[in-house]
């Protein structure tokens, strides 16, 4: 496979997957159970994504580093009802500062 065909094939498949979600007829999605599942899917996927982005190293192994500290600060800020932007900046600043100090 040439590099270009890899690029285009991966792109085509990525779009097809995204589009697939939009062509499922609404009447299939309107049932009570399917409605509850599809409303919960973003919550489950995003929460799993946060866990993976925060606690795993490059090969998938679990790790505790400066990112975990950043997220801990973000959650504390949320508990104190800090606005969105403050939460995001605090997390990045915490993680960046700890790295600059040589941890994680």
Partner 1 sequence: MHQPPLADRRRTEVLRQCLSVGVATGAYGISFGALSVADGLDLWQTMALSALLFSGASQFAVVGVVAAGGSGAAAVATSTLLGMRNGLYGLQMSKLLGVRGLRRVAAAQLTIDESTAVAVAQPEPSAQRLGFWGTGLAVFVMWNLMTILGAVVGNALGDPKRFGLDAAAPAAFCALLWPRLKSGDAAAVAAVAAVIALVAAPHAPVGIPVLVAALAAIVAGLLPSRRREDLGDADTSPEDEAPG
* Contacts of partner 1 in 6-45 (CB under 8 A): 6-15, 17-22, 24, 26, 29-30, 33-45
* First vs last C-alpha separation in the chain: 38
Binding to partner 1 by residue 64, rule CB under 8 A?
no
What is the rounded radius of gyration, in angstroms, for the C-alpha atoms of the chain? 19
Q: Does 84 bind partner 1 (CB under 8 A)?
A: yes
Q: How many residues bind partner 1 (CB under 8 A)?
A: 75
Q: Does 92 bind partner 1 (CB under 8 A)?
A: yes
Residue 56 φ then ψ, to 5°: -115, 150
CB atoms within 10 A of CB 80: 9
Nearest distance from C-beta of residue 62 to partner 1, angstroms: 6
Among 80, 90, 101, 103, binds partner 1 (CB under 8 A): 90
Is 60 a binding residue for partner 1 by CB under 8 A? The answer is: yes
Which one, of 53, 76, 72, 67, lies nearest residue 96 by Cα? 67
């Amino acid at each position: 496979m040439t590099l270009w065909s890899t690029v285009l094939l991966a792109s085509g498949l990525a779009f097809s997957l995204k589009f697939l979600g939009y062509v499922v007829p609404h009447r299939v999605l309107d049932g009570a159970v399917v409605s509850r599942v599809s409303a919960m899917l973003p919550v489950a996927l995003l929460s799993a994504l946060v866990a993976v982005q925060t606690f795993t190293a490059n090969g998938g192994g679990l790790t505790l580093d400066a990112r975990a500290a950043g997220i801990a600060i973000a959650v504390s800020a949320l508990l104190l009802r800090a606005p969105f932007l403050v939460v995001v900046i605090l997390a990045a600043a915490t993680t960046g500062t700890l790295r600059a100090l040589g941890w994680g």
